[in-house]
Amino acid sequence: MNPGVATVYRWELRKLRYQKRTYLGLGLAVIVPIIFVAAVSFKNNGPHDVAFGDYVDRSGLAVPLVILLFGAIWMFPLIAALVAGDIVASEDHNGTLKTILTRSLDRGQIFTGKALAATTYAIVAILLDGIVSIVAGCLKSGFNPLQSLSGTVVSAPKGLELVFVSLLVYLIPILAIVCIGLLLSTVTHNSAAAVVGTLMFSLIIQLIAILPGLGGAQPYLLSTQFNAWQGLLRTPTDWDPIIRAAWVCALYGLPALGAAYLVFLRRDVAGG
């Protein structure tokens, strides 16, 4: 079989399985919902200052939604950055980039395989977090109907479906973060700088969002897109924030991804 993007993708996933940082991110995605549910059980009520916070006692399905709100600040960007920021830079640092670039695969194929692997990792982490949240939440508060943001009550199966679609919508800004992580990974040649840089970018955007006088820019900030999924939990469904998230995140992510691709294609591999 001729080698191609699928070959790189398969081996990138295999390499991820050998590396500790992979399990650090996935472990975070698993442990945070468990700690949250344990804390809520101990206090016997949920956080009141956040959407769905009041419902976690009534339905386990509210737990993944609260975690999505909390996780947007740093946890999910960090998990996405752990692999996206590392996947090119670590090869630079270890000198293995020159090893794989002198085989029979073009640079474009190598980059694409890596980008797909980083994307897969982010998707797996979010879905894993969602599943653990649902299971832990339902064990604590039961698989009960969920109250939407409009006050209407949806059945538990319908609520479950909405939670899963919310997770998918949440992936839109996460994938933009992955693209930015890939760019920093490609240009910095330094894994730590790329991971921290991606996280800093995410945090700075959150800070900009709370600056006074920037209300008009709010809908176009990346941080706002982390709340787009809430449109699904209104009656009737509010698609506007979701559609906006799609193109706003594309505006953040695609130029970063394109720049990373072009830099990777043309850059000198002089290290290692």
Binding site for other proteins (CB under 8 A): 1-3, 7-8, 10-11, 14-15, 18-19, 94-96, 98-106, 266, 268-270, 272
Between 8 and 124, whose beta carbon lies closer to other proteins? 8
Q: Which of 155, 128, 125, 124 is nearest to 61 (CA)?
A: 155
| Both structure tokens of 111 | 């980059």
Other C-beta atoms lying within 10 Å of the C-beta of residue 90 = 21
What minimum distance in Å lies between the beta carbon of 267 and other proteins? 9
What minimum distance in Å lies between the beta carbon of 192 and other proteins? 17
Between 90 and 144, whose beta carbon lies closer to other proteins? 90
Between 95 and 157, whose beta carbon lies closer to other proteins? 95
3-class DSSP state of 2: coil
First-to-final CA distance of the chain: 30
Separation in Å, CA 249 to CA 32, 33, 178, 246: 26, 26, 11, 5
User: Which residues have CB under 8 Å from 156's CB, separation 6+?
Assistant: 59, 61, 143, 144, 145, 146
What minimum distance in Å lies between the beta carbon of 4 and other proteins? 9
Q: Which residues pair with 153 in a beta bridge?
A: 147
Sign (positive/negative) of CA torsion 108, 8, 178, 269?
negative
Specify the DSSP class assigned to residue 40: H
Between 94 and 150, whose beta carbon lies closer to other proteins? 94
Separation in Å, CA 205 to CA 8, 61, 75, 220, 252: 33, 29, 15, 11, 12
What minimum distance in Å lies between the beta carbon of 30 and other proteins? 22
What minimum distance in Å lies between the beta carbon of 39 and other proteins? 35
Between 100 and 209, whose beta carbon lies closer to other proteins? 100
Between 13 and 165, whose beta carbon lies closer to other proteins? 13
What minimum distance in Å lies between the beta carbon of 87 and other proteins? 13
Contact 94, 189 (CB under 8 A): no
